[in-house]
Structure 1
Amino acid sequence: MGGKKEPMERVLQTLRECRGAVAVRVLAEEEKKALFELERRVEDNIVFGMCKSRNDGVREALQREFTVAIVIQSSIFQYPHHPHMSLRYDDQVLGESITDREKREELRNNASNFFLWDDFVVYMKKLPRGREAREKMRMIFHPREPLQLRGVPCVANSVFGTPSTEGDALIKRVMNLQGEDAQLGTCLLGFNLHR
């Protein structure tokens, strides 16, 4: 880390001071690789009875220069509790989160749309036909900006990701917190440091 020790300490202190942060740790390269491989295997599972997934938030966090794992008290740590997702086939959007209430109601009035949740619509007419095409569909978990690192001057290209259940268990094991309170969750913050 060399000349990056002081900026890294500033980042870690900022994260430790976040309400709901239980444990904070920079992941070693081997840990990042193990977590990436685990998440990649999890992505082969079918989610929501529809298709495989791709967790771009976790992927991007693990590809940054530094990745910090945080064990959090889920009910009080400030983070997006509902993932930002889209259902895709190649570059085509087949489903997405709709935050605009009027747009949601308009889409709800169209019988060819199906709402998985209150704000996630699937455009049924766009769904590909045929087994091969359906196997290419992916539920994409998009990266988010970590609010906790906004305004930290030494941080660049920060990204927030929420791991799978299996990734969560691995992070807790690495941080010696397995078997702890069910209210504890995990997240990853990836970032680069200015030189």
Structure 2
Amino acid sequence: MDTLNPLRGVQGVGVLNDQVRAKILEIEMEKTGELIPVINYGVHECLNREYTVAIIKTASFRPPPTATVQLVDTNGNILGEEIVNAEQKRKYSNDENSTFVTPDFVLTQDPKILEESLKTERLEKQGAKQAFVLPPVQFIEVEELEDTCDVVSSSPDPLADLYIKQYFNFEDDAKLASILVGFNVKKD
């Protein structure tokens, strides 16, 4: 916690007990009926570590080192992803197969093909062929600690974010967000 509290934008840090971890997992599992499902793999990975820490932060906190949202198909192919840095933006700007749907999200396949696939899916009422995946993301500040290993981080679902903020006595403020950091302790 001494490593995390001084980071720019951090408003609070706390260790999650088993009861809070179970409630977050329950909230994450309640997502149903979405045209394109959201799978928060990162949060699941954080909660599967020995320790899970919640950070309450403002927008001045550093950006993530890699994409926190990806659109993937059932074969694991990345169909689109969040843009988090200039290098990634240049890469996709120079790729004729890529289409920016917002300044911060790019489709890596022709949008017409993806749209047709979604329409077919809805009409046939088949299982989803795509999903938004929130992958685990590096958290360098904790990785650099001598006794930690298997470090991952992720942003929780908006309802889980609200639960975490309330648990740590923060108001429901849109200027605040939570991040989970999960890690194990090295065994000698």
Between the aligned partners of 2:170 and 2:74, the Cα distance in structure 1 is 39
SS of the aligned residue for 2:53 comes to: strand
1:75-100 deviation digits (Å, cap 9, x = unpaired)? 22124298532222222425123725
CA distance in 2, matches of 1:32, 1:20: 24
Measure how far apart 1:152 and its partner are: 0.5
Counterpart amino acid of residue 165 in structure 1: P
C-alpha contact (below 8 Å) 1:158/1:189 kept by paired residues: yes
Q: Does 1:67 align with 2:61?
A: no
Give, in whole Å, the separation in 2 of the partners of 1:148 and 1:89: 32
Verify: 1:172 aligned to 2:161, yes or no: no
Which residue of 120, 123, 134 maps to 2:106? Answer: 120
Please report the TM-score for the alignment, with normalisation by the length of structure 1.
0.77
> How far apart, CA to CA, are the structure 1 residues paired with 2:154 and 2:74?
22
Question: Does residue 187 in structure 1 map to residue 179 in structure 2?
Answer: yes
Mapped pair 1:18 → 2:4: no
1:36 counterpart residue number: 25
Q: 1:145-177, CA deviations, whole angstroms, 9 ceiling, x for partnerless residues? A: 012213111110000100121111000111111
- Aligned counterpart, 2:71: 87
**Structure 1: gaps of 5 or more residues:** 1-11
SS in 2 for 1:182: coil
Contact kept? 1:60, 1:143, Cα under 8 Å: yes
Q: Is the 8 A contact 1:18 1:148 kept in 2?
A: no
- 1:149 paired with 2:142, answer yes
Work out the number of aligned pairs and report it: 174
How far residue 106 of structure 1 moved from its aligned partner, in angstroms, is 2.7
Q: Where in structure 2 are the equivalents of 1:96-107 lying within 5 Å? A: 96-97=80-81, 99=88, 101-107=90-96
User: For residue 140 of structure 1, what is the aligned residue in structure 2?
Assistant: 133
Per-residue CA distance 1:58-112 (angstroms, 9 max, x = gap): 1111111110011112x221242985322222224251237252443333xx5xx
The percentage of counterpart residues that share the same residue type is 24
- Cα separation, 2, equivalents of 1:141 and 1:57: 6
Query: Residue 107 of structure 2: SS of its match in structure 1?
Result: strand
Q: In 2, distance between residues paired with 1:194 and 1:45?
A: 40
TM (norm. structure 2) is 0.80
* Higher helix proportion (structure 1 or 2): 1
Give how far 1:45 is off.
5.2
* Alignment correspondent of 1:4: none
Unaligned runs of 5+ in 2: none
SS of the residue 1:176 aligns to:
coil
